[in-house]
Each structure stands twice: as structure tokens, then as C-alpha cells.
Chain A
């Protein structure tokens, strides 16, 4: 399958990419890892007149720790995040990176591309929304930093202006006593998940001090399960509290029936994923090492 013809522009710097977007106008799109964009182009769901390639810009792929914050260059590939010991500082981040699609896709796909695409079934936005995450952008009007919750506006829609791009993603390392997990349920590795959840809990002994729970693939953007969070916050995390959080997540989900399952099935799946993710998050908050990854049917 061939995409429609397009003009190809190779940017040598981020500033040059912004200038190209400004000059080429609405018919121009950015090409990062291409693992979502190229399939869309081949199916001709998108047919941009111009593609601006970001892959040859030096210095856009990095992963480093800086004063309690993990900083990731927009072109950092999922596999680079998965393989970095730094990802272990936030286990939820490692869960997400290590479970996206398959090895080949993780070798190409980028964190900046995933966030800027804002696919309702994408993994990164749903995972990072439970953490203190900021998206750093560069446009013709200069630089700005946007909280991830403000960055994702709707399905496939972000706060980015046409001539603006993501340069970096920064994630604050949660305090000691905090633990999280990201779980996605997939029929096979290469497909989008049927449903996913991210849970980040901050514990004070047996009591939950703070909770962030988000649900993916079951709405136009990831859904913050605020009722589920409240049923944990300030409570001892016994079976009853976890069951009520799981039930609240089931109610909060707003899934569409499709070839991956009925709406009821997806709600039930969300409830089970949240329950399992809370269990892993609590144990990680205590300092246990748990290998978590995506679940397969």
C-alpha cells in the first residue's frame, strides 16, 4: 500500500522544523517515529501535502534525571525508555514503555509522537496523566510548557498550534512511599489495548494518602476516575476500599462497543485492571520490586 504522494522536508533543527511548518501551512505534518502516522497514511485516512521529518535532528533523543525530574527528549524511542535504568525510578513509566506494541514498533515509536497524536487508545498519555507531567513545546511564538492534562484536548487533538511541536516531556519523580502501575489488556502485542489503566498511590503506612487513577481506550481521551480515587484517598486499603474503587472505575468508563468487545465487557475489564493495578501499586509503594507488563488475552 502506498500513501498519497507528499513533499518531503528534512529538518536539521527543531527551529527549522517550526519554520517549515509555518511556511508550508496547514498541509504540513510532522513525521516522528511514524508508527501510527505511516499506517494512517497508507490507509489514506490522512493525506498531508508535506511531511517534515524530525528523525535527522540531533539532540532530540535523551533521557536524563535533573533535580527530581525525569526529562525525556521528544524523539526518545519507547525501547530506549524501556532499556534505561532511569525508567525504574518510576515503575509505571517502565510498565508503559515496555508494553507498547512489539519490539519493532518500540524501536521506532517516540514518546513525543505518541503524546502529540493523542490517540484515545495510545499508551503514553493515559500513563503519564497520573504523574506530574509537563509537555514542553516550541512554536513560532516561542517556547511554552503545558501540563499534560491541559495538553490533551480531545481525541487526536492537543493544545499544539499548527506551527508548534513537542521538544521534551518532563515527569516529576513521585515521593518515597509512592508506587504505581500501568496495565493494558491486549488481544495480541501489536494491537492497541482493549482497555488500560494507570494507578499511582502515595501511602502512609496502611493508609492511602493520595491516589491518581486514569482509564484508557474507554473514552475519547483517557478518563480520570475521580470517584475511584476518592474511595481510596484517606482510607486503609482493605479489600472493601479496593472493591469500591474498582466499581467506581467501572462506572466512570465510557467505552464504545467495537471488534475488541462490547461496552459491558470493557467496563468489566476496566474494573478488573484497576483492582490488579492497585494491588501492584501498593506493593511497589512499600518498595517491592514487581515486574509488571501488559496482559494478553
Chain B
């Protein structure tokens, strides 16, 4: 078993929320830890840490990914969006606004991940039916809301983004 001291660090670069980050990291560092510890972007949460709950969901090259199940080295060269990248100049993104307006959250722990899964869904389909929403957020667990207000928030966000 290699001792940590003998492991070569790997130099990686990625664009996160439009800003370039370059670091030398241990290969075993998970993307979620990279975002939180190396880049101080703590909006991305660690929930179950077992590829289940989706609290760590981010966008990697426009696709929703569980950042607890991706090594940071695998994201080398990619474009990452975290929840911090949704707002623009202090203006909430329509998805963020709709989650607030529809009471699509309670404790808020799952919300960053849910909003990024929502982003991928609405990009493909701005007017999703409930069945499509269920499938799109099946990898995001919320233990507070019972989901009904989340469905409403996603549909509202879709309408607002289409109108925008």
C-alpha cells in the first residue's frame, strides 16, 4: 500500500463558475472536497457520501454529476457550475427564485443539488410534466418537503425561463 508521502500530486485546471482554478492535488481527492476545501465553494454539500442523495450534484460540462463520486482529477479541463454560479451580479437565477417563491425547500441542505438537476432538466425541456420531473430528480433526496412544492418550483422556473 503506498504511503501518502510517496504519492505524486497531480496538477489540474478547471473553470468553475467562469473562473479558472489551478491546483496540485492528491489523486484520491473527490471533486466535492476539491470544490469545498480547495476552492472554498461550500454551497455544494456532502450528504450521504455514498452516491445516493444527490446533495453534492454539480454540473460538469453542462451535465448533472454527483461530485462525491467523481475524482477531481477526472474533472481536469472541464467547465464546472456549482450553486454559487447560478446567480448573476446579485440577481438570483430563475431556478433559485422559483424555489424560494414556491417554498420548494425547508432546511435547504438538498437544495443546491436539486437546483442543478433542475438546470439540466429545464435546458432540455422547459415545460416538464410531473412524470418527467420525478425522473429528473430521482437522484436527489429531500427529507423535508415531500417534494410537492419542489415540483411546483421546477415548473415555475421553467415557465419563467421560457418567458425570459
Q: Name A residues whose Cβ lies closer than 8 Å to a Cβ of B.
A: 1-8, 10, 31, 34-35, 38-39, 41-43, 47, 49, 51, 53, 55-56, 79, 101-105, 107-108, 188-191, 293
Contact in complex: B51, A35 (CB < 8 Å): yes
Q: Mark B70-82, 1 if CB is under 8 A from A, else 0.
A: 1101101000000
Q: Nearest chain-A residue to B139 (Cβ)?
A: A102
Q: Closest Cβ of chain B: how far from A225's Cβ, in Å?
A: 29
Contact: B52 with A190, CB < 8 Å?
yes
**Judging by beta carbons under 8 Å apart, are A104 and B73 in contact?**
no
- The smallest beta-carbon distance between B83 and chain A, in angstroms, is 15
Q: Which residues of A contact B136 (CB under 8 A)?
A: 103
In contact, B74 and A53 (Cβ under 8 angstroms): yes
Within 8 A of A (CB), among B125-164: 135-140
In the complex, are the beta carbons of B66 and A5 less than 8 A apart? no
Measured CB to CB, the nearest residue on chain A to B116 is: A104
A34 to B30, CA, bound (A): 12
Asked whether B89 is an interface residue with its Cβ less than 8 Å from the other chain, the reply is no
Q: Is B120 an interface residue (CB 8 A)?
A: yes
Stretch from B15-23, B57-65, B97-105 that touches the partner: B57-65
Tell me the bound Cα distance from A193 to B136 in angstroms.
18
| A190 and B27 contacting across the interface, CB-CB below 8 Å | no
Query: In the assembled complex, how far is the CB of residue A68 from the closest CB belonging to chain B, in whole angstroms?
Result: 31
Are A105 and B66 within 8 A (Cβ)? Answer: yes
Can you identify 23 A-B contacts, CB atoms within 8 angstroms?
A4-B1, A4-B28, A5-B27, A6-B2, A6-B27, A7-B8, A34-B74, A38-B30, A38-B51, A42-B30, A42-B49, A49-B2, A53-B73, A53-B74, A103-B137, A104-B139, A105-B51, A105-B66, A105-B139, A107-B65, A108-B70, A190-B138, A293-B135
B94 within 8 A of A: no
Q: How far is the CB of B37 from chain A (nearest CB, A)?
A: 11
Contacts A35-B69, A49-B1, A103-B135 known; list 19 others, CB within 8 Å: A5-B3, A5-B27, A7-B7, A7-B27, A8-B10, A31-B74, A39-B50, A53-B74, A103-B138, A104-B117, A104-B139, A105-B51, A105-B69, A107-B63, A108-B65, A108-B66, A188-B138, A190-B52, A190-B138
Most buried by B among A43, A55, A103: A103
Interface centre among B4, B26, B64, B69 (most CB of A within 10 A): B69
- A7-B27, A79-B63 are contacts. A34–B70 as well, Cβ < 8 Å? yes
5 closest Cβ pairs, A-B complex:
A102-B139, A189-B138, A8-B27, A107-B63, A104-B66
Q: Which residues of B contact A108 (CB under 8 A)?
A: 65-66, 69-70
Given contacts A34-B74, A103-B64, whether A191 and B52 have CB atoms under 8 Å apart is yes
Give the docked Cα–Cα distance between A258 and B63 (Å).
Answer: 34
Distance of A42 Cα from B140 Cα, bound (Å):
20
Whole-angstrom CA separation of A56 from B10 in the bound complex: 15
Give chain B residues whose Cβ lies under 8 Å from the Cβ of A43: 50
B-side contacts of A5, CB under 8 Å:
1-4, 7, 26-28
Q: What are the residues of chain A within 8 A of B71 when measuring CB–CB?
A: 31, 34, 38
Contact A102 B27 (CB under 8 A): no
| In the complex, chain B residues whose CB is within 8 Å of the CB of A10 | 73
- Closest CB of chain A to B1's CB: distance in Å? 6
Question: For residue B121, which residue of chain A has the nearest CB?
Answer: A103
CB-CB under 8 A from B139, the residues of chain A are 101-105, 189-190
> Which A residues lie within 8 Å of B30 (CB)?
2, 38, 42
Q: Which residues of A contact B8 (CB under 8 A)?
A: 7-8
**Residue in A10, A56, A104, A191 with the greatest tally of chain B CB atoms within 10 Å:** A104
Residues of A within 8 A of B54 (CB): 102, 104, 190
Decide: A38 and B10 in contact? CB cutoff 8 A: no
Contact B117 A103 (CB under 8 A): yes
